[in-house]
Structure 1
Amino acid sequence: MLDRLLLSRFRNHRETVLEGAAQFNLLVGENGAGKTNVLEAISLLAPGRGLRRAALTDIPARDGTRRDEGAGFAVSADLLFRDAGTVRLGTGASADRPTRRLVQVNGAQASAASLAEWLSIGWLTPAMDRLFTESAGGRRRFLDRLVLALRPGHASHCARLENALRERNRMLCDPRTPDPWWLDAIELQIAEAGSAVAQARSELIERLEAVLATLPDSPFARPRLTYRPGGPIEAEPLAADLREGRARERAAQRTLIGPHRDEIEVTMASKGQAAAECSTGEQKAMLIALVLAHSHLLESNGETRPRLLLLDEVAAHLDPVRREALFDRLRQGAAQVWLTGTETAPFAPILGEAAVWRVENGTVARS
């Protein structure tokens, strides 16, 4: 598990150290104290832009009301392994190159994608309550994080797909006729990476559905998932469709088929109602059911990497019955859990076994 965490110049945390973590880890403090900032720092130990999807230049600590010009930041974590001892992961940005993300594993330079080989991280935040009503892009990102927990290489495929799509769209927007040979090469990259991404998403949806089918409809509303691909999920048919659609997509000045157009439809199983039309309470319950099903899938898959689950202000929006059920399910799992709250009362069932920190104005003290 994650045992020690260091935040340096990270948002409102000048120098924060958390040591001696447990299975349950609770951050308590007023709104704006810096609790979610700690969760965000942990989330940056995974590939991607973290739970806030913030730009690197928005993260360094502020002096008063102004952000430090050209400042960097750092996050460091020690992971304890039974056989390998301690592994130290680090990420951040330097003052001289504030837009370039730096990653280290045991002091050696590494790629952001390689972080997935050491650690699996998932999260639920209040902003995700809009997951079922926002754009399909948010649901794709959510699904990709779940895939990443099972397939560390998924981050590389997503990055390759994104880069190739960006290059093809640039060529489609160019008033000059693109070189067909170069388009062929770019489309082959899209097809190969896109097929890997789409097949991984499809497989995960199928496996999640199998787990969800075994769960009761209460206390958490059970979701039903359907994967709607944005194009062929095999490489050759996808490459052929891209080649045939050049004229139409050149007129649209963007790529119209491929995994970047995937949709994940979610319905409430007991009602057969689209998740977007359900109440906010039902949507929250379905999100929790999805996270718990994913955790069960990881454990049945024999996952050996440390797993972290970051739950921001989750307990406050659940009634006592659902809170107890959530804590009981988490207690039975193997993931290390980090939770935030404005008071300890909602966490009474786990206080006796949790590591508790009081957060105030960017400082953290063990309670």
Structure 2
Amino acid sequence: MALDRLVVTDFRNIEHCDLSFSSHMNILVGDNGSGKTSLLEAIFFLGHGRSFRSQLTNRVIRHQQAKLVLFGQVLDQHNSKLPLGLAKGRDGQSEVKLGGEKQQTLAQLANVLPIQLITPEGFTLLAGGPKYRRAYIDWGVFHQEPQFFELWRRVKRITKQRNALLKTVRTYQPLAVWDAELSRLSEQVSALRQGYIEQLLPRVETLCQAFLPEYQCQLKYSRGWDADTPLQTVLEQNFQRDSQFGYTTVGPHKADLRLRINGTPVEDVLSRGQLKLLVCALRLAQGQDLTQTTGKQCIYLIDDFASELDAEKRGLLAQQLAETRAQVFISCISADQVSEMMIEQPVVFHVKQGEISQQ
């Protein structure tokens, strides 16, 4: 998959732009605050229906405008063009079009436009809470297992209903029927996640060895409850505790991916530059696995690429990206900062105060 064209209207400081991209390497050059990250954010927004910088839609829509509008044209693996569009107003209402058809879903957009994001704040994948690592796992499962999205949606809905009941019931019995269904669905979700991590692990290990040869990294999936006990049994055993807290304390919504180096959390061992390389390894592994499994390419968005990586490591990452044949967008202050990325001729865009021009 490649984003062939992007039209942006009233997004952040970008009033309007209509851009055509290379299917491989695209470099965004400009000073800090010029709008480079906003363009990456617009691409991410088109594929996810949300920002990676703010949860508030009003902060993303350009000042004094009623809504933002994004239009894209995607080339699939057969080189066919698929139009997609997203409009979002200050009231949070979205309008999604796919292939010219209205009333499509954000999940359909995400399926068409698989995106991997690497930013200076990307360390949260390693050092942040479990939700970031669950999101990492679920990205891969979503793009490979068609039934996952609906299963996970139902699990979240039942968990929400269970949490509401916990605030009113005095005995476990009213929860038993809910827990039976929750357990059945949760076991399926967990099996899909576990299978995906087992499939992904060899690629992660290979890339970690390439990026961080001095370390041996270990990954382990934790499903969110005792591995040897059925979830329904654990939910019944934890009823008093859950009632006290007012929410469900075990289940697939507590799953995690634990990353260690010789048994020690990675953030306690690696420098910031090494952590960034590990994040790159994890993201690249997912992209490679997606292509191998489905034939689809993901799009890589890399913000402030040069920070915390020396020339050798930048060159190594460039080589790995080139081998994927994926579409890449990189932001930097000067093209000299990413000279190691020039394995093939890139398309370079200059960004200044929200105005974007191709060099």
> Same fold per TM (> 0.5)?
yes
Does 2:209 align with 1:217?
A: yes
| SS of equivalent residue, structure 1 residue 46 | helix
State the distance in 2 between where 1:343 and 1:307 align. 25
Partner of 1:333 in structure 2? Answer: 324
Q: Structure 2 matches for 1:187-266, cutoff 5 A?
A: 187-215=179-207, 217-220=209-212, 223-231=217-225, 237-266=230-259
Does 2:341 align with 1:345?
A: no
| SS of equivalent residue, structure 1 residue 32 | coil
State the distance in 1 between where 2:152 and 2:318 align. 33
Partner of 1:11 in structure 2? Answer: 12
Moved beyond 6 Å, runs of 4+: none
| SS of equivalent residue, structure 2 residue 249 | coil
State the distance in 1 between where 2:277 and 2:338 align. 18
Long gaps (5+) in structure 2: none
State the distance in 2 between where 1:190 and 1:241 align. 12
Q: Structure 2 matches for 1:40-79, cutoff 5 A?
A: 40-47=41-48, 49-52=50-53, 54-63=55-64, 68=65, 71-79=66-74
Partner of 1:25 in structure 2? Answer: 26
Deviation readout 1:60-103 (Å, 9 max, x if unpaired): 1124xxxx5xx2212211012354721112223135xx222332
Count of residues in Structure 1 that have an aligned counterpart in Structure 2: 353
Identity across aligned pairs (percent)?
26
State the distance in 1 between where 2:141 and 2:352 align. 35
Partner of 1:170 in structure 2? Answer: 164
The answer on whether the counterparts of 1:139 and 1:263 sit within 8 Å (CA) in structure 2 is yes
Task: Please tell me the residue identity of whatever aligns with 1:199.
Answer: A
Deviates more, 1:38-47 or 1:327-336: 38-47
Task: After TM superposition, give the deviation of residue 364 of structure 1 in Å.
Answer: 0.9
Task: After TM superposition, give the deviation of residue 178 of structure 1 in Å.
Answer: 8.9
Using structure 2 for the length normalisation, give the TM-score.
0.88
State the distance in 1 between where 2:188 and 2:141 align. 11
CA separation of 1:237/1:31 partners in 2, compared to 1, >3 Å: closer, same or farther? same
Long gaps (5+) in structure 1: none
The answer on whether the counterparts of 2:29 and 2:36 sit within 8 Å (CA) in structure 1 is yes
Q: Give RMSD over aligned pairs.
A: 2.7
State the distance in 2 between where 1:43 and 1:163 align. 26
Partner of 1:364 in structure 2? Answer: 356
Partner of 1:282 in structure 2? Answer: 274
CA separation of 1:131/1:215 partners in 2, compared to 1, >3 Å: closer, same or farther? closer
State the distance in 2 between where 1:145 and 1:53 align. 20
| SS of equivalent residue, structure 2 residue 230 | helix
Deviation readout 1:130-155 (Å, 9 max, x if unpaired): 33222222222222223333335434
| SS of equivalent residue, structure 2 residue 121 | helix
Task: After TM superposition, give the deviation of residue 256 of structure 1 in Å.
Answer: 0.8
